[in-house]
């Protein structure tokens, strides 16, 4: 899998996977990553609308996104507490845990999801999970690197009682009510398929970003490694926020 967002984590290049989302209803690992545990955890939060999951920090060099659906944990430590054994069971939150020992075991494909339709449902879920992780990395990179309207975040977090009203809703240069990061995560949380999510994200960038915003939109798409939607170039203009020194 091509991962252009990984270029922003040079120290982790070629490092083994140390972070994994585990799905108790499947009793298997869903996806693994080697870049940022907190963004994987954020991915788990978004995916909690689809399936109960736990973000594990662990040592498991053998896990990849190609084989992790055949692996589970040996101990099942408190994992039953995360939810019932059904993919339709939903806990509206994610959890995080640290596996100090390498208690990863090969279990093979779950017999509970062996039929063609149920197997495809699991594979579709994994594909969606990887897409969510991809988008979470990309929007975080785009917002952090472009830093186009940082004043609103500082005022909201550190001076909430003194912030002018116009700053309380101005999270970035787009017209998205709470900013594009919130908009994209909200789309991912509520969408029922990858195709629906992708279409809604593309439409959101068109609806809320009719200006170039100093390549804010372009950086999201390039970091995500996906093709940006076609827009009317006559509507695009650069808008940059300047700090007063």
pLDDT at site 169: 64
Report pLDDT digits (tens) over 149-180.
666 777 777 887 776 766 666 678 788 888 89
pLDDT at site 118: 95
Report pLDDT digits (tens) over 88-142.
444 457 888 888 766 889 999 999 999 999 999 999 999 999 999 999 999 999 9
Place 83 in a pLDDT band, splitting at 50, 70 and 90. Answer: very low
pLDDT at site 122: 97
What is 89-136 written as a DSSP string?
---SS-EEEE--S--EEE--S-GGG-SHHHHHHHHHHHHHHHHHHHHH
Rounded-to-integer distance, Cα 4 and Cα 144, Å: 16
Q: Please state the domain extents for the chain.
A: 4-115, 128-235
Residues 6+ apart with CB under 8 A from 48: 90, 91, 92, 93, 94
Give Cα 220 distance to the centre of its chain.
Answer: 13
Residues 6+ apart with CB under 8 A from 47: 21, 30, 53, 94, 128, 129, 132
Top-confidence residue, 227 or 79: 227
- 35 and 12 in contact (C-beta within 8 Å)? yes
Residues 6+ apart with CB under 8 A from 206: 229, 231
Taking alpha carbons only, the member of 37, 43, 101, 94 closest to residue 75 is 101
Rounded-to-integer distance, Cα 37 and Cα 11, Å: 14
């Amino acid at each position: 899998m091509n991962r252009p967002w990984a270029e922003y984590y040079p120290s982790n290049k070629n490092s083994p996977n140390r972070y994994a989302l585990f799905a108790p209803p499947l009793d298997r690992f869903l996806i693994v990553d080697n870049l940022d545990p907190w963004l994987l955890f954020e991915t788990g939060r978004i995916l909690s609308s689809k399936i109960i999951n736990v973000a594990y920090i662990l040592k498991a060099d053998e896990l990849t996104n190609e084989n992790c659906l055949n692996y589970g944990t040996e101990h099942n430590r408190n994992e039953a507490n995360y939810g019932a054994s059904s993919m339709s069971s939903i806990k509206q939150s994610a959890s995080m845990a640290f596996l100090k020992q390498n208690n990863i075991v090969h279990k093979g494909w779950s017999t509970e999801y062996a039929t063609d339709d149920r197997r495809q449902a699991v594979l579709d879920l994994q594909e969606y999970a990887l897409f969510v992780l991809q988008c979470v990395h990309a929007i975080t990179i785009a917002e952090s690197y472009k830093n186009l309207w940082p004043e609103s975040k500082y005022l909201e977090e550190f001076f909430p009682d003194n912030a002018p009203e116009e700053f309380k809703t101005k999270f970035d240069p787009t017209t998205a009510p709470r900013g594009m990061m919130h908009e994209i995560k909200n789309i991912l949380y509520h969408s029922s398929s990858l195709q629906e999510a992708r279409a809604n994200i593309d439409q959101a960038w068109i609806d809320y970003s009719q200006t170039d915003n100093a390549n804010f939109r372009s950086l999201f798409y390039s970091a995500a490694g996906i093709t940006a939607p076609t827009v009317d170039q006559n509507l695009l203009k650069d808008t940059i926020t300047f700090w007063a020194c």
